[in-house]
């Protein structure tokens, strides 16, 4: 898509990974770029120094802007919508778009956009693996790995592939979709819509509306790959002139579905037996949804079914997503630190037939934790609770499962070990954000794995903070 920013002044609000990528791409394409961030710390100062060297002005620790004179503003997805800087830019009449929208305007190839509450990263990886196995140059980007705009730059060796992109597979968040205008995926994938980010959205309807924007510019020759469970959430999919839909279900065959799960087998109307999940490294109905999405994307791009099967069979899930860690005294330890909402925890629990000792808790994101009660009643023998939500969780879950509280992750793992028996699963699946006790969900997962591996080796756990 043609987009000329030469000699235009562009504000980039937020200098995280996406904002930095947008700033660099804009500078490369001839814009005068001003990067702004409310924070000012050592890490940001290092980023700012590198941006200055590339011709990007930077302003850190900015609480207010003076007179706003810009042609465009690009918003990083983590930049709060109520921020005073953003309000000032909007009040001055400056158009505001997301980094996702900016990347699309420079993108030379079709886009596959993967969104939903859970499973986005795995599905993005699976789609890229299937397409690449079929000889299609289609790297994963967006919220996974490299930022979209970084992928489109020409000025470093890593970006040399931009001239030979056949497609891009993007993991797309609701935050990014809030500020799109022309973004038009060739294929959109909607995995699921369940409660999340209710600290940002006033209601589930508002959250679903933000997700629904992924469809808004698609045309008749585009494709929507959508979970049957989501169809009632999106009025736009029922409108006249909607794009072609490929509907899948992990709950058996349903009317209108092209693909569905029966036992461990994924079946389809046209091809019959598509794939047996027992031949993959993925398990559980939630991963069946991810696999069916990747198979549908492969079909759109004419990847032979056997090639797609082989790519999916070879794929191994990323860390912190129901990741097996170790067996200690017959008890399996599983790291699902990426499960930062109740739906992700429910899907993780559903994937186990053994009794589960659940480690949960963290920073509250505004969920109704009672939504997990019936699953906990069926699947969990004990809940070990940590973080700022532990009292809230204990109040909510005590009627259905025995709950104990721990001050640290180390103490939680020890309590879980003391209460687990041979054949049980100890599952870290927090249902909460990590930022009360950890730097990120990755940090939380890494610390869990280190604690478990130390226990498995028979050593004493380090007394460093967890």
Are both 73 and 115 inside the same structural domain?
no
pLDDT of residue 439: 92
Band (pLDDT 50/70/90 cuts) for residue 160 is very low
> What integer is the mean pLDDT of 315-343?
91
**Closest of 188, 179, 5 to residue 106, by C-alpha:** 5
4 in any annotated domain: no
CA angle 293, 174, 112 (to 5 degrees): 35
**Claim to verify: residue 90 and residue 191 sit in the same structural domain:** no
Following CA atoms 414, 419, 424, 425 in sequence, which dihedral angle do they give, to the nearest 10 degrees? -40
Residue 299 sits in the same domain as residue 390: no
* pLDDT, tens only, 349-378: 988 889 999 999 999 988 899 999 999 999
**Under a CB-based contact definition with an 8 Å cutoff, are residues 12 and 19 in contact?**
yes
> Does the residue 466 lie in any domain?
no
Are the beta carbons of 33 and 102 closer than 8 angstroms?
A: no
Of 314, 342, 371, which closes a domain?
Answer: 314
Residue 409 pLDDT: 98
Do residue 106 and residue 143 come from a single domain? yes
Chain-wide mean pLDDT for the chain? 90
CATH code (residue 219): 3.40.1190.10
Domain membership of residue 465 (yes or no) is: no
Residue 462 has what pLDDT?
A: 41
User: 251 and 354 share a domain?
Assistant: no
Structural domain contains residue 157:
yes
- Residue 120 zone, left/alpha/beta (φ > 0; ψ -120 to 50; rest): alpha
Is the domain of 186 the same as that of 273?
yes
**Total number of domains in the chain:** 3
The number of residues in the chain equals 466
The answer on 89 and 67 residing in a single domain is: yes
The verdict on 287 and 340 lying in the same domain is no
Specify if 461 maps to a domain: no
Quick: pLDDT tens for 403-448: 999 999 999 999 999 999 999 999 999 999 999 999 999 999 999 9
The pLDDT, as a whole number, for residue 466 is 34
Whether residue 289 lies inside any domain: the answer is yes
Q: Are residues 138 and 238 in the same domain?
A: yes
- 13 lies in the same domain as 120: no
Same domain as 87, residue 115: no
In terms of DSSP H, where are the helices of 263-386? 285-300, 305-314, 342-350, 373-379
Give the per-residue pLDDT at 365: 87
Confirm whether 462 is domain-assigned.
no
CA distances 309 to 82, 226, 276, 296, Å, are: 45, 20, 9, 12
Kindly state the helix (H) or strand (E) to which residue 34 belongs, with its residue range.
strand 32-37
Q: Choose one of 279, 314, 349: the last residue of a domain.
A: 314
Nearest to 384 by CA among 343, 352, 425: 425
Burial of 88 (0-12, 13-18, 19+ CB in 10 A): middle
Per residue in 187-234, pLDDT (tens digit) is: 999 998 887 766 677 788 888 888 999 999 999 999 999 999 888 778
Spatial contact of 21 and 149, defined as CB atoms under 8 Å apart:
yes
Pair (125, 236) in one structural domain: yes
- What's the rounded mean pLDDT across residues 312-332? 91
The CATH number linked to 390 is 3.90.190.20
- The whole domain housing 197 covers 100-314
């Amino acid at each position: 898509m043609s987009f000329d920013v030469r000699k235009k002044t562009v504000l980039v609000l937020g200098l995280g990974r996406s904002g930095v990528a947008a700033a660099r791409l804009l500078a490369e394409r001839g814009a005068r770029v001003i990067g702004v961030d409310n924070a000012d710390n050592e890490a940001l100062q290092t980023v700012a120094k590198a941006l200055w060297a590339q011709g990007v002005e930077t302003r850190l620790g900015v609480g207010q802007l003076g007179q706003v004179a810009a042609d465009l503003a690009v918003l990083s997805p983590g930049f709060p919508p109520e921020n005073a800087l953003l309000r000032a830019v909007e009040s001055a009449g400056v158009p505001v778009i997301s980094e996702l929208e900016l990347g699309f305007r420079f993108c030379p190839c079709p886009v596959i956009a993967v969104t939903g509450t859970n499973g986005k990263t795995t599905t993005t990886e699976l789609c890229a693996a299937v397409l690449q196995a079929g000889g299609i140059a289609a790297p994963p980007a967006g919220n996974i790995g490299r930022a979209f705009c970084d992928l489109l730059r020409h000025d470093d060796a890593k970006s040399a592939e931009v001239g030979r992109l056949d497609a891009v597979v993007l993991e797309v968040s609701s935050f990014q979709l809030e500020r799109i205008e022309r973004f038009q995926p060739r294929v959109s994938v909607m995995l699921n819509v369940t409660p999340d980010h209710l600290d940002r959205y006033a209601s589930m309807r508002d959250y679903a509306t933000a997700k629904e924007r992924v469809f808004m510019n698609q045309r008749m020759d585009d494709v929507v790959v959508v979970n049957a469970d989501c169809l009632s959430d999106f009025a736009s999919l029922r409108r006249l002139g909607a794009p072609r839909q490929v509907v899948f279900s992990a709950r058996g065959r349903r009317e209108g579905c092209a693909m569905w799960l029966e036992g461990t087998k994924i079946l389809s109307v046209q091809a019959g037996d598509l794939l047996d999940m027992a031949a993959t490294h993925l398990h559980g109905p939630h991963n069946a949804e991810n696999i069916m999405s990747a198979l549908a994307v492969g079909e759109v791009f004419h990847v032979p079914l056997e090639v797609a099967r082989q790519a999916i069979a070879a794929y191994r899930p990323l860390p912190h997503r129901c990741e097996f860690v170790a067996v200690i005294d017959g008890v399996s330890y599983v790291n699902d630190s990426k499960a930062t909402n109740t739906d992700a925890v429910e899907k993780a629990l559903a994937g186990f037939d053994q009794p589960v000792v659940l480690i949960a808790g963290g920073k509250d994101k505004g969920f109704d934790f009672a939504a997990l009660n019936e699953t906990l009643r069926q699947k969990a023998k004990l809940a070990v609770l940590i973080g700022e939500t532990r009292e809230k969780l204990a109040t909510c879950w005590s009627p259905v499962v025995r709950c104990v509280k721990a001050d640290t992750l180390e103490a939680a793992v020890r309590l879980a070990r003391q209460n687990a028996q041979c054949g049980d699963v100890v599952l870290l699946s927090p249902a909460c954000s990590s930022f009360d006790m950890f730097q990120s969900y990755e940090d939380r997962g890494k610390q869990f794995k280190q604690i478990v591996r130390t226990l498995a080796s028979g050593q004493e756990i380090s007394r460093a903070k967890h």
